[in-house]
Amino acid sequence: MGTLYQPIESTIQDLKVTIHDTNIVFPCQETQKRPMFLSNIDQVLNFDVQTLHFFNGNPEFPPEIVNERLRIALSRVLVTYDFLAGRIKMNQESKRLEFDCNGAGAVFMVASSELTLKEIGDLVYPNPAFRQLIVHENIDHLEKDDKPVCILQVTSFKCGGFAMGFSTNHITFDGISFKTFLQNLASQAFDDTKPLAIVPCNDRTLLAARTPPRVTFPHVELLKLEVPIGEELNPKVFETLDEEQLDFKIFKLNASDITSLKEKAKDENAPNEKITSFNVVTSYVWRCKALSYDVENINSDRISTVLFAVNIRPRLNPPLPASYAGNAVLTSYASTTCHELEDGPFSKIVDMVSQGGKRMNDEYARSAIDWGELYKGFPNGEFLISSWWKLGFSQVEYPWGKPKYCCPVVCHRKEIILLIPNIDDGTSNNNDGVNIFVALPPKQMEKFESYFHKFLLE
């Protein structure tokens, strides 16, 4: 039965991290100096994403060897991923952001902690101190207008384990293309010279707007903002505007919970309809979140809209290459009244989420991209579900083994709910479950938790 996640160990507030070395890593071969086109999807993602990748110690790979292997691997992949060694610039003629592939380099930092992996506590439970494992502020010796788009900090622990902390500008990758990058980085960390695991497709003009742009759908999931031409859009989507106090909790659904939700989602009128784990979990979270919005009495007529990302690579005609290296996800949505969410059948809620995904066909995706050519704006909904659940970062094989756990560095925002995988303990049942990261004002959190347990018992 769904449970509230409790940290296995207490969380340490100071990881006692020391930075030993900071280097600029350049491509190991000369690369062409060139501008790179950025799609309208890329244009609105000019902010940093931080991820952590924890590894157990391997006696054959002490910290100094791991550091050198990763530094060399990074220099190798920067040849193909030349934009990672570049900088983001505003083209003054087109008034669009673009990559300046100038070979300025990525940042590689070596650090150590006085603690062991066990001492830093539960890796699943977000610890603010994890920010010490990743650089996300200014690099002292770089000019302010020379901000790197890729920073890797490798922090070794006293036990021999270590963490890779990546800070990458979101313009560089979406989750799928970042996994491909990790596979390629891992392939180049082996002692022998191997080709890249997957050759990335760097042609972002594949997602250029049509000429002329044709917006053929209303796109209620997008909010038009009035921004002067040439002025960058503030990328802090869904950011809480005030200093509102938020409670933070992790809700856990195990494999049997998800199987049970799939059973409840079956529609007798469509017995052969495929029901995915993502759709039932998204529907369940949507129901709880929407009904917890009104602290006193539920406004049954209020429209609630859930937003979620859809990978458009296989949905275009012709499909994008699976190895497309930019951002190829668009925001889809489902909307209905709180009355329907509270009293309607769960199968109908799941169907609305499913239809939201199916809506994203070639014409809809192209229309959304064209919308971004004509307007500036952001996703428009009550909240966004951001799923890291099935990205598979922990399945990447490095010379020293697979990661123990991978996770984003979490910022608590009430309009974003994260789906995060469990730690891979070698059992399929554990890996099939999901952790749901929720941040809400205290009274809304009470209602969310109440609904979370109530609906599972129905």
Residue 10 binned pLDDT confidence (cut-offs 50, 70, 90) = low
Q: Could you give the CA distance from residue 394 to residue 405 in angstroms, rounded to a whole number?
A: 6
Q: What's the pLDDT score for residue 430?
A: 53
Structure tokens at 292: 């917890």
Q: How far apart are CA 411 and CA 394, in angstroms?
A: 21
Q: What is the pTM of this model?
A: 0.94
Alpha carbon distance 308, 301 (integer Å): 23
Q: What is the pLDDT of residues 277-331, one digit of tens each?
A: 999 999 999 999 999 998 778 889 999 999 999 999 999 999 999 999 999 999 9
Active site residue 141: no
Q: Are 91 and 37 in contact (CB under 8 A)?
A: no
Percent of residues, the chain, with pLDDT higher than 70: 91
The one catalytic residue in 170, 412, 415, 453 is 170
CB 105 within 8 A of CB 26: yes
pLDDT band, very low/low/confident/very high, at 423 (cuts 50, 70, 90): confident
Please, are residues 66 and 163 in contact by the beta-carbon 8 Å criterion? no
For every residue of 165-201, DSSP letters joined together read EEEEETTT--HHHHHHHHHHHHHHTSSS----SS--B
Q: What is the token pair recorded at 73?
A: 């691997």
| pLDDT band at residue 244 using 50, 70 and 90 as cut-offs | confident
Tokens of 198: 């997957």
**Residue 238 pLDDT exceeds 50:** no
Active-site option among 9, 68, 363, 397: 397
Structure tokens at 171: 């313009």
Q: What is the pLDDT of residues 429-448, one digit of tens each?
A: 556 799 999 999 999 999 99
340 is catalytic: no
